[in-house]
A and B are shown apart, each in its own frame.
Chain A
Amino acid sequence: MKKFEWRYLFVGLINVAIIAFAWLAALQGVAWISLVSVVLLAIFDVVFLLKRGYPYRYLFPGLVTFLVFMVFPILFTISIGFTNLGTGHMLSFDVAKNILLSERFVPVGSPVYELQVGETVHSYEIFLTEEQVEKKFWGSIEKTSGDFSINLQAFDHNLSDFSAERNISLLSKRRVYQLMSFLKKLELVLPGGENLYYSGISKFSAVKSRYMEHKEKRDVLVDLQSGEEFYPDMDEGVYKGKGEFLSPGFSVSVGFKNFMRLFSDSKIAGPFLKVFIWTFVWALFTVVLTFAVGMILALMLNKDTMKFRFLYRMLLIIPYSIPFFISVLIFKGLMNKDFGAFNEILMSWFAIKIPWLEHSMWAKVSCLVVNLWLGFPYMLLVLTGILQSIPADVYEAAKIDGAGRWTTFWKITLPMIMSAVAPLLVGTFAFNFNNFVGIYLLTGGLPPMEGAATPVGDTDILISYTYRLAFEGGSGQDFGLASAISIIIFVIIAVLTLINFRLSGVIKKKDA
């Protein structure tokens, strides 16, 4: 008997799931997603059903997640860098146009109906009262009905008697407010044939469409209230009239405009240059400081004569074992100007207070000090490993030749470990170049830079600046500009990576 092949069951289930997903996506109108999933499914089927696809079966799952959640986001970020995507420009042109076309207004003088909603087990009961002429209407809709049109009829009962009779519970204002999204969809038809729509909290009115597409000029909107014409501006992503523009705007491609802003708009370019320089200074100083301290400690603890060196090393590594975000937040407390432990100690010993996180220069020093604390154990760990790989007889030979400790370090130790250390240093540089936690959780990028058009501070590095542009709100989110900066970071990291591959010699080997 042939063995049951679980593979077919597995492939079948995946097929059913993905086809259902693609079907749903198509129904929702996002055709490109169903297309992509069907293509991926086809590749999946080929790989898992044909014998020739065997090796790819192992590669496929990892590769797909890697493509979807790494390669695609990177490419997507790059494409956003060339648009004005952000607050007020989040939607595509068609969606924004349709939203404007569905906007309604209440013409002056048209009657306003006050709303009350009742609920039974199966239905909502709608009661309307026209205040000026005391006309009342009533309609009912099944809760499960997909139809949102209700035919109203004249209503001349007492509301409380009527609802008690029919087991209708009248809803509080609060509950009515919670039903708002449902009420907004309703179309109430008066006995005379006139349509009423939701026009404000607990109010229905005969509303009219505010905008209409121009009969001859495509995509031009006419304001039916004022008669003004609005033209889509495809450079700025808004509908523009005479001096006025409509909200919401839409996202458009802006070419290199985001980059131009970074380099020539004085209110953005000045701060950007400062952030750019500080990012390099920060990463470079961190590497030099952690390396120097790590090296000194590693050399001291590398001596066989030191008794407790294993214990010492363990204790010194503790800072590295604590998640960075926790350590940085602790330092933020310790460095508090008025109550922090550092200033308490300084006050009682020297009667001085240091504005650790408030003053521009001190804030930068603080960032570096904290990052030294976080980073030197790594250097200590790695350098210890590398130092131990140097054979002892090299040192003996140096000693016999009369080399002092200083000469031995500069002439023998350092050159010998340099080939192993150089890629580590570049790697550490690249890591700190994007060390968001080390900056953002300590200072939040503050103190703020003066005269900047965007939220930016003296200790901001490129990645924290990007984060603040995109997610810190305040003056709105600017995804376009944030992505443009991300592209610049990509380029820098790519160059560093190339340098690193050169240094570590990976690139020369054909098959690493």
Chain B
Amino acid sequence: MDFYQRKELAMSTVRNLFIVAIIIVVLFPVLYIVSMSFNPTGSLGADLLPERFSLDHWRYILGLPYRDALNGEWQTSSFPILTWLFNSIKVSLITSFMMLVLSTTSAYALSRFQFKGRESSIIVLMVVQMFPSIMALVAFYLMLDFIGQYVPALGTDSHWGLILVYLGGTPFNIWLIKGYFDTIPKSMEESAIIDGCTPFQAFYKILLPMCAPILAVVGLLTFISTFADFIVPSILLKSQENLTFAVGIQLFIAEGFSGRWGQFAAACILGALPISLVFFSIHRYIISGLAAGGVKE
């Protein structure tokens, strides 16, 4: 091994150590939370490595009977944590599905037809998609409050009202999907139409299956961002059993930080794991999508 090779080896070791050190620092909160969720002490400031392994916190958040840390009695949690998770999944699923229906059809019109107002629609969509909807919070609240006086199922404290607010955010997705449609040659649909398909059949029997990857990505991205949204449900939802996971878990921990730390840790993992997995399954597409759109949401 000559001097040059040895220098290279030393440099590479240093680089690896540096990166590993950074990874440890970066992953510290994650590891800590995993450890906390199995630590029976469960208060803020417990040791990083638990002395005993316990599933009590997991039983707590899953609504199973658990042994109370203080008096040793068996009891069940009074917080509907699983309901919150279910609410979030329900709202996110419905939002993603309806978002796909609304944005694929609109994108199809903008990509495949020539009609009056097409150019200006494209410009309006492009400009408006840059405004995050949270800037119109006050209006959303007052609108749904008003609607709720007549149709309670669409008002504040309702999941459908929340979903409607999210559906206003179609432009960004129309934009993404239209971009993808534009890259697919028209010839396939055209020949199908000549063979007797209606344009609508050509749309959903030929074009949509060809675009499955982008549709999956848009659907999952919508799912993630809806699931992770805090601000809109925090102003719209009120009753405990209606809350989404984000709002519920924030209330749960804001009321008693030190005592509920272990249960909170378990709940965090339960809520984050599915989202994390979804994210890693599509993160390659996210890079290109984000690079085009510029922002996360």
How does the 8 Å CB contact mask read for B246-279 relative to A, with 1 for contact and 0 for none? 1001100100011001001100100110011001
Judging by beta carbons under 8 Å apart, are A321 and B279 in contact? yes
Greatest chain A CB density within 10 A among B30, B48, B114 is at: B30
A434-B132, A486-B136 in contact; A427/B32 too (CB < 8 A)? no
Measured CA separation A76–B136 after assembly (Å): 8
Interface size class of A (residues with CB under 8 A): 35 or more
A323 and B272 in contact, given A330-B33, A431-B295 (Cβ under 8 angstroms): yes
Query: Are B283 and A381 within 8 A (Cβ)?
Result: yes
Q: A297-B22, A301-B19, A306-B15 are in contact. Are A325 and B250 (CB under 8 A)?
A: yes
With contacts A385-B287, A385-B288, A426-B294 known, is A329 near B268, CB below 8 A? yes
Q: Are B115 and A329 in contact (CB under 8 A)?
A: no
- Chain A, 41-94, CB within 8 A of any chain B CB: 54-59, 61-63, 65-66, 68-74, 76-77, 80, 85
Bound Cα distance A512, B126 (Å): 9
- How many whole Å from A491's CB to the nearest CB in chain B? 11
Q: CB-CB < 8 A to B139: which residues of A? A: 72-74, 76-77, 80, 483
B109 close to A (CB within 8 Å) = yes
Q: Which residues in B have their C-beta under 8 angstroms from that of A449?
A: none
Contact with A along B50-88 (1 / 0, CB 8 A): 000000000000000000000000000000000000000
Residue tally, chain B, CB below 8 Å to A: 95
Q: How far is the CB of B218 from chain A (nearest CB, A)?
A: 13
Expressed in whole angstroms, the minimum distance between the Cβ of A163 and any Cβ of chain B is: 36
Q: Which residues of B contact A501 (CB under 8 A)?
A: 126
Tell me, in angstroms, the Cα distance from A65 to B108 when the chains sit together: 16
Asked if B97 CB lies within 8 Å of chain A CBs, one says no
The answer, among B19, B264, B287, for a CB contact under 8 Å with A333, is: B264
Question: Within 8 Å CB of B199, what residues of A?
Answer: 54
Which B residues lie within 8 Å of A308 (CB)? 16
B228 within 8 A of A: yes
Q: Which of A281-338 contact B (CB under 8 A)?
A: 297, 300-301, 303, 305-308, 312, 314-327, 329-334, 336, 338
Q: Is the CB of A318 within 8 A of B131?
A: no
The binding surface of chain B is classed by DSSP as helix
Chain A neighbourhood of B91, CB < 8 A: none
Known contacts A330-B268, A333-B264, A512-B126; decide if A62 and B227 are in contact (CB<8 Å): no
Determine whether the beta carbon of A70 is less than 8 Å from that of B128. yes
10 pairs of residues in contact across A and B, judged by CB atoms under 8 Å: A62-B102, A69-B164, A318-B27, A330-B265, A381-B290, A382-B290, A436-B230, A471-B235, A497-B130, A500-B130
> What residues make up the interface of B, taking CB atoms closer than 8 Å to A?
12, 15-16, 18-20, 22-23, 26-27, 29-30, 32-33, 43-45, 48, 101-103, 105-106, 108-110, 113-115, 119, 121-122, 125-128, 130-143, 150, 164-165, 167-171, 174, 199, 203, 224, 227-228, 230-231, 234-235, 246, 249-250, 253, 257-258, 261, 264-265, 268, 271-272, 275-276, 279-280, 283, 286-288, 290-291, 293-297
